[in-house]
Structure 1
């Protein structure tokens, strides 16, 4: 059987990948999980004696962490595409929103243990869960992940995940974090933890020499934004819905930490700082299109835009923009024009080719 190392080498030879020693070091770890899943026998027990079937136990998975753009998601996709068992690949944020929805439905139905039916439903059809970008920022998620994952492992589900954080830094400084610490121990016991320590940020590299702020918005600029999206994501079309205090915050296009949205998608709705913090936490690169002229006529939208840029700036989210004009000329009259000078300055700083490269 062709190994992941063989597949990676073939892609390097074909010129679709650039060989990276840090990535190559991960391949045997993923191949070990793949082989264990393929060879895992059905556990003998009472069910086998009466002709029934029992799912194999979960094998040791992998927790792959490291900086943005190092190839974690690419490696996981390579593994997922050649998984030998029924599998699902999902962004961790989206998965936890599904779980919270399932728990809420179970509670409404009067189920005493609301997590149990959620675990059962997930484990029915898969033996492998591949998560992109595991991170815990919501206390509701923090309080249930321990029991959730214990249940999944008990049902024979193996987990492979990427993250920008070492396990010990998950939910760092979070409310009631001491209640979350047992989950970190579960991760360390059930998943092999590996740091992908590459010095190269390939996501930044693909933008090197490419402008990241375009004005005015012309058909050629729109085509360029399409090209950037297609180059970074392969033309992905899926969306991501983030739940923030019961509200839906939708990123119309999202893939491997890269999002694409218009100004009106993110600033034309009544979003606040909390919404933008969640967006900044979920996204590592944002393509933001169609930023209009900002005046007293769209003052509320302008305020939201300032808050959005602040959140992206503080989180070191790489941002590609298309706008009606240069940053300094977006908001030149009306209440808030003076305060916008800081936002314009940040937009300028965020255009630097090295900006955000130290973000983890």
Structure 2
């Protein structure tokens, strides 16, 4: 079976990716897991199944190539594997628990976790982060069942394990989960000086106006470039409510203006979004004023959340920032938003 190190070297030689010593250093860890999973299991009545290999918790700054390395790993496997964003996975688990409870199952988590364990040998998570108290109270026992069943977990994250659910409510109940991760997974920090996501956007326009066929095509091209043409829905849990983002891939989200500003969303929702994504593609921002005052207020709140979290914004709009909001209550307050929209267009802003 071809090693991940050989796949990486081949693609670097072909110019499909750049040699990066920080990325190359972690490849033997991924090959360790792949090789252990490839070993044939000797079956027998009294044979004890071998211990599964330790997984990998790969963390580091945004744009360092964690998701690309995960793609190579998943591509190399010959065992049942599921690649999924951690938020989406936990949403499925919560939905499964709810259904089990409706059916009168006393231990509603067990059948949900056991079903996952029967379907896959490897779980490959993008962006493990835990901000929701419901997730925080579930993950300990969930992962205990998965690990006991021999499921190998490989995950990326922007946070070191000790910072998961940091300052969360009842965090002391969550701490054993962190200990379990450290026991069952190798924790590896990817320290690369290059931000590849920023490099892909370097010198490229990020604000398209007016909204027409040409700008829509350019937005589509940016999305294809950043996402590879693949996407899933992202569902954020905020105080018991669900906030759905239509398209998401590798830290990049794509939504229309009315998806985010035409709904009854508030600062907490936008902060959760800013926490979960690194790039937001926002399409079809209209002119703002008296006729859509509530939407305009939400847009201001959204931009504030993205700005403070240093989320890169790529958008299409009816006009330049200074001309988006020119009449009605709120014009004065929008001057700050227009200024931030201008600042967020600069090449080095998010760095």
Cα distance in 1, alignment partners of residues 243 and 168 from structure 2: 22
**Separation in structure 2 between the aligned mates of residue 352 and residue 305 of structure 1, nearest angstrom:** 20
| Residues 269-348 of structure 1 aligned to structure 2 (within 5 Å) | 269-348=263-342
SS of the residue 1:252 aligns to? strand
* Distance (whole Å) between structure 1 residues aligned to residue 51 and residue 278 of structure 2: 35
1:225–1:106: structure 2 CA closer, same or farther, 3 Å change rule?
same
Aligned to 1:33: 33
Aligned to 1:155: 149
How much has 1:109 moved relative to structure 2?
2.2
- Residues 294 and 302 of structure 1 are in contact (CA less than 8 Å); yes or no, is this contact kept in structure 2? yes
Answer yes or no: is the 8 Å Cα contact 1:62–1:194 preserved in 2.
yes
- 1:115 and 2:109 equivalent? yes
Contact 1:57–1:153 at 8 Å: present in 2 too? no
Give the Cα–Cα distance (whole angstroms) in 1 for the partners of residues 247 and 138 of structure 2.
Answer: 28
The question of whether the paired residues in 1 share the 8 Å contact of 2:238 and 2:272 is answered with: yes
Mark the runs of 5 or more structure 2 residues left unpaired by the alignment: none
Whole-Å Cα distance in 2 between the matches of residues 307 and 292 of structure 1? Answer: 16
State the alpha-carbon separation in 2 of the partners of residues 323 and 54 from structure 1.
Answer: 62
Alignment-derived partner of residue 205 in structure 1 = 199
State how 1:220-299 maps to structure 2 within 5 Å: 220-299=214-293
Number of matched residues?
Answer: 351
Residue 61 (str. 1) matches residue 49 (str. 2): no
Is 1:13 paired with 2:13? yes
Cα deviation code 1:225-254 (max 9, x no counterpart): 111111111122432233334443222211
Q: Cα deviations across residues 284-316 of structure 1 (Å, max 9, x unaligned)?
A: 101111100000100011111111111111211
Which residue of 86, 99, 105 maps to 1:105?
99
232-241 or 177-186, larger mean C-alpha shift: 232-241
Q: CA RMSD in A?
A: 1.6
* Corresponding residue to 2:136 among 124, 128, 142: 142
User: Greater shift after overlay, 240-249 or 165-174?
Assistant: 240-249
Deviation at 1:84, TM superposition (A): 2.5
With normalisation by structure 2, the TM-score equals 0.96
Counterpart selection for 2:64 from 67, 70, 86: 70
Task: Flag the 1:121–1:339 CA change in 2: closer, same or farther, 3 A.
Answer: same
Unaligned residue ranges in structure 1 (runs of 5+): none
Q: How many angstroms does 1:56 deviate by?
A: 5.3
